Amino acid sequence: MTHSHAHSHLQEAAQQSTTRLSISLFLTLIFVFIETAAGIFSNSLALLTDAAHNLTDVIALGLSWFAIKLTTRPANKHKTYGYHRAGIIVALVNSTTLVLISIWIFYEAWHRFVSPPEVQSGILIGVGLIAVVINLVTALLIHRGSEHDLNLRSAFVHLMGDVLSTIGAVIAGVIIYFTKVNWLDPFVSVLIGFLILYNAWGILRDALDILLEAVPRDIDSTKLVDDMLQVQGVLGVHDLHVWSLTQSLRTMSAHILTDDLSISVGANIQRQINEIVYHRYNIGHATLQLECVDCFPDSLYCDLNDHYHMDEEHASFSNR
Q: Are 167 and 133 in contact (CB under 8 A)?
A: no
pTM of the predicted model, to two decimals? 0.68
Backbone angles phi, psi at 285, to 5 degrees: -140, 120
Domain ranges (residues) in the chain:
3-211, 221-318
Please state, as a whole number, how many other Cβ atoms lie within 10 Å of the Cβ of residue 36: 17
8-state DSSP, 217: T
Q: Do domains 3-211 and 221-318 have the same CATH topology?
A: no
Rounded CA-CA distance 143/193 in Å is: 22
- What averages of pLDDT result for each successive group of 10 residues across the chain (320 residues)? 47 71 84 82 72 76 81 79 81 84 84 73 77 82 72 77 76 80 79 82 88 90 93 90 86 91 91 94 91 61 49 48
Rounded CA-CA distance 302/313 in Å is: 18
CATH architecture type of domain 3-211: Up-down Bundle (1.20)
Give the type of residue at 38.
A
130 burial level (CB within 10 Å; 0-12, 13-18, 19+): middle
CATH architecture type of domain 221-318: 2-Layer Sandwich (3.30)
Cα–chain-centroid distance for residue 47? 27
3-state SS assignment for residue 244: strand
Look at residue 10 in the predicted model and tell me its pLDDT: 54
Backbone angles phi, psi at 144, to 5 degrees: -60, 125
